[in-house]
Chain A
Amino acid sequence: MTTATQTSRIAQLPPAVKAVTLPALLIVVWQIWAMTLPETSPAPAPAKVVQSFIELTASGDLVWSTLQSLGRVLAGFCVALVLGLSLGVLMGASRAVRENLDPIIESFRPIAPMAILPIAILWFGTGTPAALTIVAYAAFFPLLVNTVYGVSRVDRQLVRAAQTMGVNRLRTIATVIVPAAVPSVLLGSRLAMGVAWTAIIAAELAVGAKSGGGTSGGIGQMMFVFYAYSIDLNGIVVCMIVVGVIALMIDRLFRVAEHRLLPWRN
């Protein structure tokens, strides 16, 4: 009887209260647990994380590192965009190209971006170009696959209509096929930006780990320095939250773009 009334009472709570309950509980338990530890313990605590966030923001380190990482992601993404789109349109439009390239593409796809890092370091050293390579490699596959899909899905009747009216092949690609592929390309871009952001963190972390905290910077490197040198776990948690927030923002940005550019799809 009591349990029944209790559950109904819980059900009547406003959605916002329900949403906040568990995260709030988690933070409170975490803070209490941290307060039981001796003062010298490096364990992170919510209060210290907030303090660390304020300090890192005030000094400008956090903003600068984030911008550095974002810049690398954008540059790598642009490289992947150019390669993925051009190859994707070719593969989507021509069956011969698709059949011949597909085995090669598919054998590279299961190779994680991070597995390419040792090669990238051998080629470019432990600087920004190595990180860019990883990002471009990671972003390339979702862009390519979705472009191929978008292009091969184009309404054949439209292509035939264009051909009947004497439009040449190149112009058909530019005016019929590419616009029709835009929704898929946008989806591919969103997925690509997601993996690219993960890849840059991994690359910066690994470069930091392997070059002994070099000077290349970025938020991944910042995390590694906090781990290996200053043992600042609160700083690491701040970086993790920033990584999450940026990932969320990138995703939302592309979703908004999809809504704006393709209003008929909603």
Chain B
Amino acid sequence: MVSLMETRTAKELAEVASESDVDRKAGARYPGSVRAQGRFWQARWFIVVRAFSVFIGIWYLVALWVASPIQMPSPFKVLEALIALGRTGELFDHALISATRLVISLVISTLIAVPLGFLMAMNREANAFIDPIVELLRPISGIAWIPLGLFIFGVGGTLPIFIMAYVAFFPLLLNTIDGVKSIDRKLMSAAETMGVSRSARLLHIAVPAALPSVMVGFRIAFASAWAAIIAAELIGSPSGLGFAIEWYRQLLMSPKVFAFIAMIGAIGYLCDLGLRTLQHKLTPWAEGMGIGQ
């Protein structure tokens, strides 16, 4: 099972941990945990701004010390490059190409993995036949498919889609199976006793019950796909964010390399934020299920 552990942030985990029973009994350990409201220097946004200011300050000093604009461009040069790339639209063009590939591959993966997961979880025979082949393929990382994929699909847009769909498939499948298996059997039997049809049982009991786990799987699938696309585009595609960073590296235009890397991080962060919000909206009851569910 792929656990939530992989998707939670360090801070979230620490907070879940510090809110445990043990801690509550022991009382507030951190003096800061009972905080005065309204003091802006203790507000979350202020801490974030301060942390970033310090980070950018250190970066600036390191850039001064290294004194090589190719190896370590200063934060201002990167900002300039970011604005210039934004003006010409190049930044968004490459981002849009990568994002489109991402969406296509996630749709393909979801359409295959989720129904297959339901089948494997509900039918023991199907599971006995299909599970071995899944377990045989799973250790082979998507990256390892790149050379063969390059040969089959050639350099272009199909290779990243194939690699991402492959990478996203396994967390989605495993979490779907896990979610369906966690369905309360009594609910299913009760519905059956009361004459609820099989399709209605599936739609009204199995799907909602499995949804939290599927959502977790989807977030992990997104994260691994977003990591894989960079490798796939860097090696075998003439467009996209992964291509752009390597292209500008070869031209030794470091500020643009850094600008594109920032874009990769920003999209990854925003998408995860969006998925997390969606998860909270779609499956609010899953909040209390804890870690590793």
A144 within 8 A of partner (CB): yes
Knowing A18-B128, A21-B129, A107-B269 are in contact, say whether A197-B231 is a contact too (CB < 8 A): no
In the complex, 5 of the A-B residue pairs with CB atoms within 8 angstroms, ordered by the A residue number, are A115-B245, A152-B17, A152-B18, A198-B142, A244-B141
Cβ B8 vs Cβ A20 within 8 A: no
Knowing A202-B231, A209-B235 are in contact, say whether A103-B48 is a contact too (CB < 8 A): yes
- Of residues 9 through 39 on chain A, the ones whose CB sits less than 8 Å from some CB of chain B are 10-11, 15, 18-23, 26
Residues of B within 8 A of A206 (CB): 231, 234-235, 246
- Of residues 7 through 46 on chain B, the ones whose CB sits less than 8 Å from some CB of chain A are 8-11, 13-14, 17-18, 20, 22-23, 25-26, 29-30, 32-33
Cβ B129 vs Cβ A247 within 8 A: no
The residue from B5, B128, B261 contacting A146, defined by CB atoms under 8 A apart: B5
A81 within 8 A of partner (CB): no
- Given A244-B136, A244-B144, 6 other A-B contacts at CB below 8 A? A103-B47, A111-B264, A191-B5, A201-B143, A205-B143, A247-B139
A240 within 8 A of partner (CB): yes
The residue from B130, B257, B258 contacting A22, defined by CB atoms under 8 A apart: B130
Which applies to chain B's interface (DSSP): helix, strand, loop or mixed?
helix
Would you give the 0/1 interface string for B244-283, flagging 1 where the beta carbon is closer than 8 Å to chain A? 0110111010100110010011011100100000000000
Residues of B within 8 A of A60 (CB): none
**Interface set of A (CB-CB < 8 Å, partner B):** 7, 10-11, 15, 18-23, 26, 42, 44, 88, 91-92, 95-96, 98-119, 121-123, 142, 144-146, 148-149, 152-153, 155-157, 159-160, 187, 191, 197-198, 201-202, 205-206, 209-210, 220, 223-224, 226-227, 231, 233, 236-237, 239-241, 243-245, 247-248, 251
B140 within 8 A of partner (CB): yes
Cβ B230 vs Cβ A104 within 8 A: no
In the complex, A189→B231 CA distance in Å? Answer: 23
Residues of B within 8 A of A226 (CB): 147
Which of the listed residues B25, B248, B261, B267 has the most CB atoms from chain A within 10 Å of its own CB? B261
Q: 9 tightest CB-CB pairs across the interface, nearest first?
A: A110-B268, A118-B249, A153-B17, A244-B140, A149-B13, A156-B26, A112-B227, A152-B14, A227-B147
Shortest A231–chain B CB gap in Å is: 8
Knowing A111-B268, A121-B249, A145-B8 are in contact, say whether A251-B139 is a contact too (CB < 8 A): yes
**Interface set of B (CB-CB < 8 Å, partner A):** 5-6, 8-11, 13-14, 17-18, 20, 22-23, 25-26, 29-30, 32-33, 47-48, 50-52, 54-55, 70-71, 125, 128-133, 136-137, 139-148, 150-151, 223, 226-231, 234-236, 241-242, 245-246, 248-250, 252, 254, 257-258, 261, 264-265, 267-269, 272
Residue of A nearest to B131 (CB): A19
The residue from A113, A148, A224 contacting B10, defined by CB atoms under 8 A apart: A148
Cβ A119 vs Cβ B147 within 8 A: no
In the complex, A21→B129 CA distance in Å? Answer: 7
In the complex, A22→B168 CA distance in Å? Answer: 22
In the complex, A191→B5 CA distance in Å? Answer: 10
